[in-house]
Amino acid sequence: MLSPGVLYDERLTAPRSWWAITALVGVSVGLTLFPFGFLAFLGGLAAGTALAAAAVSSYGSARVRVLADSLVAGNARVPMSALGEVHVLDAEEARAWRTHRADPRAYMLLRGYVPTAVRVEVSDPDDPTPYLYLSTRRPRALADALEKARA
């Protein structure tokens, strides 16, 4: 359920396979410390798993939110008045816009494990950012929310 004033909310969580890798990192650290004793193994297992989990959780905590007056994507907050046309990108188009079509001045909330995205043009003449590239698992819903907020 969305809060009042929030038209769209998505958290770009890390895939489940990354959590399995987190456990393997913990085991690796524990095994590295095993020659120093069983307690060192347990400490390394706990510390390695905790640090890897913190890194995965931090990377997977990026959010995309459409509020009534602004778009919040990661650390960026852009007023609706500064946004232009919204383009829904399928997996192939999204790959093109994050590689050979990419503009280095663009703001990119990019998550490689999310194949689809939207590209939102920035219409503010004082802003050097040409567009926002936002990874999203629901590009059509995000585009619809942006259109609704701009109306």
Q: Are residues 50 and 70 in the same domain?
A: no
Tokens of 93: 């188009």
Task: Note the pLDDT of residue 61.
Answer: 86
Q: Within a domain: residue 113?
A: yes
Q: Are residues 83 and 143 in the same domain?
A: yes
The parent domain of residue 22 ranges over 6-59
Q: Residues with Cβ < 8 Å from 37, sequence gap 6 or more?
A: none
Task: Say how many domains are in the chain.
Answer: 2
Q: Are residues 74 and 41 in the same domain?
A: no
pLDDT band for position 2 (cuts 50, 70, 90)? low
Q: Within a domain: residue 103?
A: yes
Angle (CA) 92-102-104 rounded to 5° is 160
pLDDT single digits (tens) 44-76: 999 999 999 999 999 888 999 999 999 999 999
Q: Within a domain: residue 1?
A: no
CB-based contact 11:61 (threshold 8 Å)? yes
Question: Sign of the CA dihedral 118, 129, 111, 148?
Answer: negative
Q: Are residues 79 and 116 in the same domain?
A: yes
**DSSP per-residue letters across 104-144:** TTSEEE--TT---EEEEEE--TT----EEEEE-S-HHHHHH
Q: What is the mean pLDDT of residues 16-37?
A: 96
Q: Are residues 119 and 98 in the same domain?
A: yes
Q: Within a domain: residue 33?
A: yes
pLDDT single digits (tens) 118-141: 999 999 999 999 999 999 999 999
Q: Are residues 73 and 53 in the same domain?
A: no
Q: Within a domain: residue 35?
A: yes
Q: Are residues 94 and 23 in the same domain?
A: no
Q: Within a domain: residue 126?
A: yes
Tokens of 121: 């043009």
* Residue 42 amino acid letter: L
Which of helix, strand or coil describes residue 54?
helix
pLDDT band for position 142 (cuts 50, 70, 90)? very high
pLDDT band for position 4 (cuts 50, 70, 90)? confident
Where is 10: in which H helix or E strand?
Answer: strand 6-11
